[in-house]
Amino acid sequence: MKNSKIGGQAVIEGVMMRNSDKYAVAVRKPDHEIEVKTFDITNDDKVSKIPIIRGIVTFVRSLAIGMKALTFSSEFFEEEPATTAEDKKKKERETKVESVFVVAFSILLAIAIFMAIPYLVSKFFVKWIDSNILLSLIEGAIRIIFFFVYVIAISRMDDIKRVFSYHGAEHKCINCLETGNELTVENVRNASRFHKRCGTSFLFLVMIVSVIFYCFINVDGRLLQFLIRLVLIPAIAGVSYEFVRLAGSSEGKLINILSKPGLWLQHLTTREPSDDMIEVGIASVEAVFDWQEFLDEYYRDEEAES
């Protein structure tokens, strides 16, 4: 497989695809037409060359782009869409404010569920366990269990099921190209819905890497221990990004073995898409990526040589 370096995410009734300095959001509107909008990205070439740091920057930037893409897709399904220019501007301001609150609340909730609670529960075992490494392993196990329960719970919601189907469409479009096939509905349908560069794999890897990092926190005071855990999150994200980045461009046996847990988890976060969902994914890819040129460069030249 050849790494196309494109990636994306599912949005409300659509797919966002990102490539280099731009990304596109394609949405299947209520009238069944596909709306596609392209956005520019400002990249810092200096930062992109620094390991770990580039992972932190990419993670933050991906969160911002993801929220913008979700906001854009949600506009097509509002009960009372804005009609005048003034109403649209007012709606945009309100949406931005709402987005800030949603992101802030989501971060606080994530810290509470996946950081604070597992940490506090693990401290219950201090009476019987005095090994910091063992307590960190227990904390990590609790965090992973919480994550699985959370994913399974939301996957039962009808709206989330459709988002997961679009997530599958996103992966299948990328896999279709990276295995050397033309981007058609039939080819995409036959492609895998699992991909090593998936955000799901990244999040799972963050939890695994955090266990390793937290094993070395050996300070007194629970509050200080917890604060150090929070401070280390960017570094953990940076290290996890480097592995996902390597996995996306390597077919080594060890890399493939280490990627397996994240791929297994994608059985929960992706679903097989319908053909109309695949069409949306294709539209998003084509807005930011010349897949014909990609195939000509990496696959057809090889066929000619053989």
Is pLDDT larger for residue 258 or for residue 184?
184
Does pLDDT of 239 surpass 80? yes
Mean predicted confidence (pLDDT) in 137-155: 92
User: Does the pLDDT at position 54 exceed 60?
Assistant: yes
For residue 143, give both structure tokens. Answer: 């965090």
Q: What is the mean pLDDT of residues 128-150?
A: 92
Mean pLDDT of the region 38-48: 80
Confidence of residue 165 (pLDDT cuts 50, 70, 90): very high
Confidence class for position 280, pLDDT limits 50, 70, 90: very high
pLDDT at 45: 67
| Averaged pLDDT for residues 218-222 | 86
273: which 2 tokens?
A: 């898409």
- Write down the pTM of the prediction: 0.88
Query: With 90 as the cut, is the pLDDT of residue 138 above it?
Result: yes
* pLDDT (0 to 100) of residue 88: 63
Lowest-confidence range among 150-159, 246-255, 258-267, 281-290? Answer: 246-255
pLDDT given at position 173: 98
The average pLDDT across 130-145 equals 92
Contact predicate 235/52, CB 8 Å = yes
On the question of pLDDT at 1 being above 60, the answer is yes
92-124 residue pLDDT tens: 666 666 656 666 667 777 878 888 999 999 989
Mean pLDDT over the full length of the chain: 88
Are 278 and 173 contacting, i.e. CB atoms less than 8 angstroms apart? yes
| Torsion sign (Cα): 61, 25, 69, 270 | negative
pLDDT digits (tens, 9 = 90+) for 22-38: 999 999 999 999 999 99
Task: Please check whether residue 270 is in contact with residue 171, taking contact to mean a CB–CB distance below 8 angstroms.
Answer: yes
299 secondary structure, DSSP code = I
The residue with greater pLDDT, 12 or 101, is: 12
Q: Residue 156's CB: how many other CB atoms inside 10 A? A: 8
Rounded to an integer, the average pLDDT of 70-94 is 71
> What is the spatial distance between Cα 289 and Cα 23, in angstroms, rounded to a whole number?
9
Ordered by start, the domain boundaries in the chain are 7-305
Confidence of residue 21 (pLDDT cuts 50, 70, 90): confident
Residue in 280, 285, 288 with CA at minimum distance from that of residue 26 = 280
**What φ, ψ does residue 41 adopt, rounded to 5°?**
-125, 135
**pLDDT score recorded for residue 284:** 98
- Residues pairing with 10 in the sheet: 15
